[in-house]
Amino acid sequence: MHKHIVCTGGGTAGHVTPHLALFPQLKKSGYAISYIGSKDGIEKEIMEEEGVDYYAVSTGKLRRYKHKDNWKDPFKVVKGVMEARQVLKKLRPDIVFSKGGFVSVPVVIAAKSLGIPAILHESDRTPGLANKIALRFCEKICVTFPETVDLLPEGKALHTGAIVRPALFTGNRTKGLSLCNISSQKPVLLVVGGSSGSQKMNEAIVASLDTLLDTFHVIHICGKGKVDESVQRYGYCSFEYVSSEFNDLLAAADVVVSRAGSNTIYECLAVKKPMLLIPLSPKVSRGDQVENAQSFEKQGFAAVLSEDELTSDSLVVNINAVYKEKEGYLERMRTAAQYTDGTEMIHLFDQVISKKNK
């Protein structure tokens, strides 16, 4: 049976890239795919590269803080709902799948008004504002963290786990080492500062290189425009940004230092990489990364170092501690519950569509 799904979500890469993990399996299951996003968000560029039909609608920022443009946001959301209704009437999809972000709110509301079922997915331990709003208009919300189920209305949430890219499991350690011109004689430390990079993490890594390179080879993903070209050392390899190479670099790693975005940490869990997490401070975020990191620490998958306590010395101490205890981390990861690659979620799509068509 031919099926049509409209995907939505945007604002950050974390709201968009999980769709890419689902696309091959959706197509295999007989789904045609369209995408509704914002007019100038990161999702537009990503979907155009994927060759997915893209439709843009208006969206409000829906800030949690005082801002001079806050009064405009409700009007933008209303406009977005009207535009999304027009697109959905034209496409007539069987289902809408949302990964969150503010652009998803008008799409999910429009779908509800047209009788089109919507499924949400929440990556973080606690729901973001967009999903909190969209929740009342959806059939189900799928969650990554098991403890998130208890934070949502009874019967509404389903723990499906992370949406992990199948290509992640094809990473090749030898290729990763070769990309960085390093040997296998030392363990490899992979540093990932998030899609935009973390200047404080970058500075702490560079400041501690003399000590780190005694024990590790270091692969450092710095963020666009943040590579320090003056740092040239054997055993240290830096990148602004990586895409397909990430699978091989991750395969080469023995320990990962990372922010605590849900997608990244669950990918590390999927391929069994002990982690030191340095979550984005609540001073500049809603605190979701702190909650993600605390969950992984509690489950024994990672150690956590707060950004306020981050120095070159504390970084070295914590990295060495994780490496020393790596077998314990690996054992807990091996015995952890398996996390879905998205197949279970596609079964849910089929069930909802079948129920609707009865």
Q: Which has the closest alpha carbon to 57: 78, 72, 74, 42?
A: 78
Average pLDDT, the chain: 89
Taken in order 260, 264, 266, 271, the sign of the CA dihedral is: negative
pLDDT tens-digit map of 141-190? 999 888 899 999 998 999 888 888 888 999 999 999 999 999 999 999 99
Distance of alpha carbon 323 from alpha carbon 307, whole angstroms: 20
Which domains, from first to last, does the chain contain? 3-163+340-357 (3.40.50.2000), 167-334 (3.40.50.2000)
R_g of the chain, CA atoms, integer Å: 21
Distance of CA 247 to the CA centre of its chain: 15
pLDDT value at residue 72: 63
Collapse the DSSP code of 217 into the 3-class scheme (helix H, G, I; strand E, B; otherwise coil) and give the result. Answer: strand
Are the C-beta atoms of 20 and 163 separated by less than 8 Å? no
Taken in order 122, 286, 61, 43, the sign of the CA dihedral is: negative
Q: Which has the closest alpha carbon to 7: 34, 26, 29, 31?
A: 34
Q: Taking the model in full, what pTM does it have?
A: 0.85
Are the C-beta atoms of 115 and 27 separated by less than 8 Å? no
- Residue 91's φ and ψ, nearest 5 degrees, are -80, -30
Are the C-beta atoms of 232 and 252 separated by less than 8 Å? no
Q: Quote the tokens at residue 78.
A: 């209303």
* Most confident by average pLDDT, 114-128, 137-151, 312-326: 312-326
